[in-house]
């Protein structure tokens, strides 16, 4: 019973376990990557790209909601700003290559995010949600009134152009792999952010803001940065979406869209890395399947019901529940 | 014709009146939100849906049972209020005491369901409700024409707002409500049934919204989405006024309606955005809102 334990052995065991876990993770990620690479040969690439764009949107949103604890009800504004900016530039300046248009769209969304953050960051909880919602509505009205957006008709025929002036994006496969690379890069970036010391501080703020303040952190600055990064990634998602569909419309700016990204994140599992991706896949598929069937007019109530059910019964979402299950039964 | 800043006086006063009427609706709705928020600490995202239900129930009651306007003015808020009690009992109560964000999301989901189901039944083109006969026509004030119904809306909305303010700030029941806002556990220790008070407060806030809906039925186009459009404006009004005071909600509501009306007169393109612009300015100067007390 009381055999002396060598601390080095414990350390070794832990490292060994870590290695096994890392290997497992690597394998899962590798399989996922292979699936994503092979997917366009099985499924319609445009549909897959739609999922990826919304997944990126949800990942961006989750950085703020799931990891920092700030519920923005105005993220549609960034999606739309990215989309409209990229669409406008690519449509009107033929010299621009696609990636320049996308970078510009992302930059605009980033600036808008900074403005939103500076105005709203001092409010908390539901106030924060209301302020961001109202600010996004202001942006919505701006797009409704502006001529360059095409108003209610939307902006059509945005050219996909050529990536770096070399790769023809009119080809759906090329476009898909470009979107995939951007998505994976952003996903890894968020993973890196969440795991970094900065991400730890965000989590600390989420758990208990006064404590973080008393530990000497300038909480507002951390929150503003998180907001801006989140807005930038949401804008990037919007920019890519407008290139993929060659269309930017008021739908993207509507508060309905802000609600949808909340639903995606919540259903998938907020505060988990994979959750928003799963949630976006789920919601986009549900919407597609419903729109094909006899329930096509019931999409909104069904989404609303999913919302209510998730909040009441599956608070941790699909990924969160699976994690819990694994921990309980296998861990 | 006399002109004010290049705008005919009749046009200006007409827009001002429309502004005051819209403001009366903003006041009624933000008042209901403030009452619910006070005790439940919930932002009731379904508030717009309740307003819409008030108007819709009025129309349906008239079409099916030819229930007249005056009866509807009482029956519709009671029916919708009862529906609100069901939502409170079956949904909101389950997540009481948890992060307020969840109640926001829950009521948002509920609003989507209500709105979506009704859109399928009634479409989005808009139902019509004819004005009660006694309100047809109006009075010429010399500088403008004042329809009777609009005068009625302004008067009754102000009365209801004042009545609510009076109940909450000046009566015994109101003191319970305010005590519950401060510390509902302690209040329960004094033998007051806090859960019941919470239910009734939610029901009352919903009734206010439905009442506004009935008032709106004869003058606005009645569609299942009428609530969601006005709700976001009301959110902005709430942010501008700050959640601290009931009186603040009323004053800010009417003020914002007037500002919107003035903008419609002098620079129409900005009229739908002006309240949000005011919100931005207020947030920069006074982050807690004009009448807000919370930090």
Residue with tokens 């108003």: A151
Q: Is B96 on the interface with A (CB under 8 A)?
A: no
Q: CB-CB: which of B95, B239, B277 is closest to A312?
A: B95
Band of residue A241 on the pLDDT scale cut at 50, 70, 90: very high
Q: How far is B69 from chain A (nearest CA, A)?
A: 30
DSSP track, A231-264: HHHHHHHHHHHHHHHTEE-GGGTSHHHHHHHHHH
Nearest to A269 by CA among A128, A62, A44: A62
Note down the domain range covering A81: 44-253
For residues A278-302, give the mean pLDDT.
88
Q: Which residues sit opposite B4 in a β-bridge?
A: B7
Q: Which pair of structure tokens corresponds to residue B195?
A: 């859960």
Contacts of B61-65 with C-beta under 8 Å, sequence gap 24+, read B62/B129
* Calculated CA dihedral for residues B18, B21, B22, B26, nearest 10 degrees: 160
Residue with tokens 């999301």: B105
Band of residue A295 on the pLDDT scale cut at 50, 70, 90: confident
Q: CB-CB: which of B101, B116, B238 is closest to A298?
A: B116
Q: Is B285 on the interface with A (CB under 8 A)?
A: no
Question: What is the C-alpha radius of gyration for chain B, rounded to an integer number of angstroms?
Answer: 19
- Counted across chains A and B, CB pairs separated by less than 8 A come out at 112
Band of residue A1 on the pLDDT scale cut at 50, 70, 90: low
Q: Cβ–Cβ of B280/A297 closer than 8 Å?
A: no
Q: Is B232 on the interface with A (CB under 8 A)?
A: yes
- The reply to whether A284 falls in a domain is no
Cβ within 8 Å of residue B113, ≥6 positions away? A300, A301, A304, A305, A308
For residues A184-213, give the mean pLDDT.
91
For B85-139, write each residue's pLDDT tens digit. Answer: 999 888 888 887 777 788 888 999 999 999 989 888 887 777 887 777 777 777 7
Q: Cβ–Cβ of A126/B239 closer than 8 Å?
A: no
Q: Which of B227, B235, B242, B277 has the highest number of chain A CBs within 10 A, making it the mutation to test binding with A? A: B235
Q: How far is B40 from chain A (nearest CA, A)?
A: 13
Q: CB-CB: which of A130, A144, A301 is closest to B112?
A: A301
Cβ(B84)–Cβ(B203) below 8 Å: yes
For residues B255-275, give the mean pLDDT.
87
For A216-237, write each residue's pLDDT tens digit. Answer: 888 999 999 999 999 999 999 9
Mean pLDDT is lowest, of A72-76, B35-39, B221-225, for: B35-39
Between positions 154 and 213 of B, the ones with CB within 8 A of A are none
The pLDDT score that the predictor gives to residue B232 is 87
Q: Cβ–Cβ of B273/A142 closer than 8 Å?
A: yes
- The reply to whether A190 falls in a domain is yes
Cβ(A153)–Cβ(A97) below 8 Å: no
The pLDDT score that the predictor gives to residue B295 is 43
Q: Cβ–Cβ of B106/A129 closer than 8 Å?
A: no
- The reply to whether A219 falls in a domain is yes
The pLDDT score that the predictor gives to residue A331 is 60
For residues B2-8, give the mean pLDDT.
71
A144 neighbourhood in chain B, CB within 8 Å: 272
Count of structural domains within chain A? 1
pTM (2 decimals)?
Answer: 0.87
- Helix A172-195 with A7-38: angle, nearest 10 deg: 160
How many residues can be counted in chain A?
331
Q: Cβ–Cβ of A255/B100 closer than 8 Å?
A: no
% of chain A beyond a pLDDT of 70: 99
Q: Is B295 exposed, middle or buried (0-12, 13-18, 19+ CB in 10 A)?
A: exposed
How many residues can be counted in chain B?
295
Q: How far is A70 from chain B (nearest CA, A)?
A: 9
- The reply to whether A264 falls in a domain is no
Q: Is B283 on the interface with A (CB under 8 A)?
A: yes
Q: Report whether pLDDT(A166) > 50.
A: yes
Q: Cβ–Cβ of A259/B273 closer than 8 Å?
A: no
- The reply to whether A260 falls in a domain is no
% of chain B beyond a pLDDT of 90: 22
Mean pLDDT for chain A?
88
Higher pLDDT, A50 or A40: A50
Band of residue A278 on the pLDDT scale cut at 50, 70, 90: very high
Positive or negative, the Cα torsion across A278, A24, A180, A223?
positive
ipTM, 2 dp: 0.83
- The reply to whether A30 falls in a domain is no
Q: Which residues sit opposite A167 in a β-bridge?
A: A163
Please state, in angstroms and as integers, the Cα–Cα distance from residue A266 to each residue in A37, A59, A308, following that order: 27, 11, 11
Secondary structure of chain A: what % helix, strand, coil (to 5)?
80, 0, 20
- The reply to whether A225 falls in a domain is yes
CA distance from start to end of chain B:
50
Q: Is B93 on the interface with A (CB under 8 A)?
A: no
């Amino acid at each position: 019973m009381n055999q002396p334990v060598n601390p080095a052995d414990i350390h070794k065991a832990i490292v060994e376990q870590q290695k096994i876990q890392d290997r497992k993770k690597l394998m899962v990620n590798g399989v996922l990557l292979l699936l994503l690479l092979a997917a366009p040969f099985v499924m319609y690439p445009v549909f897959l790209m739609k999922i990826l764009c919304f997944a990126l949107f949800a990942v961006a949103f989750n950085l703020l909601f799931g990891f920092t604890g700030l519920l923005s009800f105005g993220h549609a504004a960034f999606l739309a700003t990215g989309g409209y900016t990229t669409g406008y530039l690519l449509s009107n300046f033929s010299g621009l290559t696609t990636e320049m248009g996308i970078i510009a769209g992302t930059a605009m969304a980033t600036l808008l995010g900074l403005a939103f953050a500076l105005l709203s960051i001092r409010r908390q909880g539901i106030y924060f949600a209301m302020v961001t919602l109202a600010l996004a509505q202001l942006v919505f009205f701006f797009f409704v009134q502006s001529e360059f957006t095409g108003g209610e008709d939307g902006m059509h025929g945005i050219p996909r152009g050529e990536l770096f002036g070399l790769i023809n994006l009119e080809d759906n496969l090329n476009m898909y792999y470009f979107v995939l690379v951007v998505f994976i890069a952003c996903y890894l970036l968020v993973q890196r952010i969440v795991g970094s010391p900065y991400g730890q501080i965000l989590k600390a703020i989420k758990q208990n803001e006064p404590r973080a303040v008393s530990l000497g952190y300038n909480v507002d600055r951390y929150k503003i940065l998180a907001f801006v990064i989140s807005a930038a990634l949401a804008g990037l998602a919007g920019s890519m979406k407008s290139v993929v569909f060659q269309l930017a419309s008021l739908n993207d700016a509507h508060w309905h869209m802000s609600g949808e990204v909340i639903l995606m994140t919540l259903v998938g599992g907020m505060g988990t890395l994979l959750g928003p991706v799963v949630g976006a896949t789920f919601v986009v598929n549900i919407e597609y399947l419903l729109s094909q069937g006899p329930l096509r007019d019931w999409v909104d109530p069904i989404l609303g019901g999913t919302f209510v059910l998730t909040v009441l019964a599956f608070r941790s979402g699909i990924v969160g529940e699976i994690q819990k299950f694994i921990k309980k039964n296998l861990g | 014709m006399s002109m004010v800043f290049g705008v005919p006086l009749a046009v200006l006063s007409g827009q001002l009146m429309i502004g005051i009427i819209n403001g009366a609706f903003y006041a009624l709705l933000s008042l209901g939100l403030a009452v619910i928020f006070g005790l439940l600490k919930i932002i009731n995202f379904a508030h717009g849906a309740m307003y819409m239900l008030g108007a819709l129930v009025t129309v349906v009651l008239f079409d099916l049972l030819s229930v007249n306007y005056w009866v509807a003015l009482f029956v519709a808020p009671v029916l919708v209020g009862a529906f609100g009690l069901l939502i409170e009992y079956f949904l909101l109560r389950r997540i009481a005491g948890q992060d307020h964000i969840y109640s926001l999301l829950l009521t948002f989901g509920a609003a989507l369901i209500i709105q979506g189901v009704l859109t399928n039944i009634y479409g989005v083109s808009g139902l019509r409700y004819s004005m009660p006969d006694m309100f047809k026509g109006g009075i010429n004030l010399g500088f403008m024409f004042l329809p009777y119904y609009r005068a009625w809306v302004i008067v009754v909305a102000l009365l209801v707002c004042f009545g609510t303010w009076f109940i909450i700030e000046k009566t015994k029941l109101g003191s319970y409500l305010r005590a519950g806002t401060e510390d509902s556990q302690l209040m329960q220790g004094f033998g007051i049934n806090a859960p019941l008070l919470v239910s009734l407060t939610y029901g009352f806030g919903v009734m206010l919204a439905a009442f506004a809906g009935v008032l709106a039925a004869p003058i606005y186009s009645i569609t299942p989405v009428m609530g969601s459009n006005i709700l976001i404006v009301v959110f902005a009004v709430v942010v501008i006024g700050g959640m601290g005071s009931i009186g603040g909600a009323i004053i800010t509501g009417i003020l914002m309606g007037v500002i919107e009306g003035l903008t419609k007169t002098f620079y129409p393109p900005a009229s739908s955005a002006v309240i949000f612009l005011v919100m931005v300015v207020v947030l920069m100067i006074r982050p807690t809102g004009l009448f807000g007390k919370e930090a």
